[in-house]
Structure 1
Amino acid sequence: MLIPVEDGPAVVACNTCRHSSTAKEDDAGVRGGARMVEALRAVQARDERYSGIAVQEMPCLFACSEFCTVHLRAPGKVGYVLGRFTPDEDAAAAILDYAVHYAQSEHGRVPFKDWPQGVKGHFITRTPPPGFVAQ
């Protein structure tokens, strides 16, 4: 049931997420999560700044009411689940821009002034790393 992946900074995208609050799929019959994975990989491939961030995917992050969700994680850092994105390259760039700041942070906290506009209002949960709780 579990698939081993590299244990570094990563954006884990739900590849089965709804396309929006009102539709499971887009006009071509593709789930929003699958489109988000495509967008994240396309943006990552064009910009070397994102090379240290793994783009991983899995079915269902169990945030179904939020649609187009991603989990941002790294060893020893607070993790975040973000959602309610439009599955496009603008959202993907904002997520990856935030992920770069996140990866460079000591404990996973990124100062608000460094948040890309495209992630503001999209945070759903904050999760502590194994063996820790956050202050």
Structure 2
Amino acid sequence: MPDTEIIVCTTCRPPGASRELPAHGLALFEAVQEALLVCELDTGQHKGLQLRGQACMSGCSRACTVTLQAQGKFSYYFGDLVPDAETAAQVLACAQLHRHSADGNLARNTRPERLRAGILARLPPVGLGST
């Protein structure tokens, strides 16, 4: 089973947010990083997940943004996320659903609450023929 990569935009800011303050995206990245570390130390539950910060994923009007991707699976791009510990926990839960899905499909009703709305894109795996 391929690892699922969680990519968090580290430069996301809600419209009108001051550039003098730390980016909301960086706060979300740090929250996900902390949640991943805590879970690994406590339970080992999130093995198979990789986390990466990425400066600007072009979702500026829908900050904060996160992508889930894995080789041979559909990729998901979420926006309008709150940069807090609860969102971080739900991102990890959703990433585990993605990891355990054979094709990466994430039905709306199975995703954690904060990742049911705000979907910006669902991209097919590279090389998948059209149907």
TM-score calculated relative to the size of structure 1: 0.85
Q: Residue 109 of structure 2 contacts residue 116 of structure 2 at CA under 8 Å; is this kept in 1?
A: no
Within the candidate set 44, 60, 72, 1:76 is matched to 72
1:1-135 pair list within 5 angstroms: 8-18=3-13, 20-24=14-18, 29-47=21-39, 48-133=44-129, 135=131
- Secondary structure at the aligned position of 1:49 is classed as coil
Give RMSD over aligned pairs: 1.8
**Aligned-partner Cα distance in 2 for 1:133–1:64:** 31
TM-score calculated relative to the size of structure 2: 0.87
Unaligned runs of 5+ in 2: none
Percent of matched pairs sharing the same residue: 27
Q: CA deviation at 1:134?
A: 6.2
Distance 1:111 1:24, change over 3 A: same
Number of positions where the alignment pairs a residue of Structure 1 with one of Structure 2: 126
**Aligned-partner Cα distance in 2 for 1:49–1:68:** 25
**Aligned-partner Cα distance in 2 for 1:24–1:11:** 26
**Aligned-partner Cα distance in 1 for 2:112–2:65:** 17
CA deviation string 1:41-63 (max 9, x = no partner): 01111112223211111111011
CA deviation string 1:114-135 (max 9, x = no partner): 2111211121111112111565
Q: Residue 63 of structure 1 contacts residue 69 of structure 1 at CA under 8 Å; is this kept in 2?
A: yes
Unaligned runs of 5+ in 1: 1-6
